[in-house]
Amino acid sequence: MFSDGDSLTPGSLLQSAELGKLEALQDHLSAAARQFGLDQRRTGLLSLALEEIFVNICHYAYPDAPGPVVLNCRSEGEKLVVEIVDHGQAFDPATIAEPDLAAGVETRRVGGLGWFLVRQVADVLDCFREDGRNVVRLTLNR
């Protein structure tokens, strides 16, 4: 299940979209990030981005019963490429409103920060639908 580019040893991991699988996915990603040479700070932020994407898949891609999620990590020269793929309902992150970061406690909406954080972490973020699958691709420069 390796994609193009130089596959890192950890390669791909298939899991069921259940919250209990989050840590296994994060461990897999952290191992790949370490092998790539990403520092601890950015590895932590990448782990955070994975949680946000994975939780979104658990809740919205598979609202009725958990389906498969594939995490694929590879290096492309000076870039670390991380893909999270599901086979669930189509998802368009462009429809998600940007949070109002300046709003105070009373007016600030609870939630809505997940995708904002994902956007902050990735140097390049691509989200697309391909062959009935949702693909979220984060590219991080070394």
Partner 1 sequence: MEIQIRDSGAACVVAVAGKLDALSAGDYEKAMNQLIADGKTRFVVDFSELSYISSAGLRVLLATAKQLKPKGGLAVFANLQGNVQEVFEMTGFCTILGVYDSVDAALAAL
For residue 86, state whether it binds partner 1 (rule: CB under 8 A): no
CB of 56 to partner 1, least distance (A): 10
Measured distance CA(79)–CA(71) in Å, rounded = 17
Output DSSP code: residue 109. Answer: P
* SS3 label, residue 69: strand
The answer to the question of residue 24 lying near partner 1 (CB under 8 A) is no
- C-beta of 66: minimal distance to partner 1 in Å? 14
Q: In terms of CB distance, is 52 or 86 closer to partner 1? A: 52
The residue from 12, 15, 31, 55 that contacts partner 1 (CB under 8 A) is 55
| Whole-angstrom distance, CA of residue 45 vs CA of residue 122 | 9
Instruction: Give all strands (DSSP E) within the chain, no chain letters.
Output: 6-16, 68-76, 79-86, 124-130, 133-141
Cβ closest to partner 1, residue 90 vs residue 103:
103
Nearest residue (CB) to partner 1, 120 versus 141: 120
Using alpha carbons, select from 77, 86, 82 the residue that is nearest to residue 55. Answer: 86
How crowded is residue 22: how many other Cβ atoms within 10 Å of its Cβ?
17
What are the residues binding partner 1 (CB under 8 A)? Answer: 19-20, 22-23, 40-41, 44-45, 47-48, 51-52, 55, 99, 101-106, 108, 110-111, 113-114, 116-117, 120
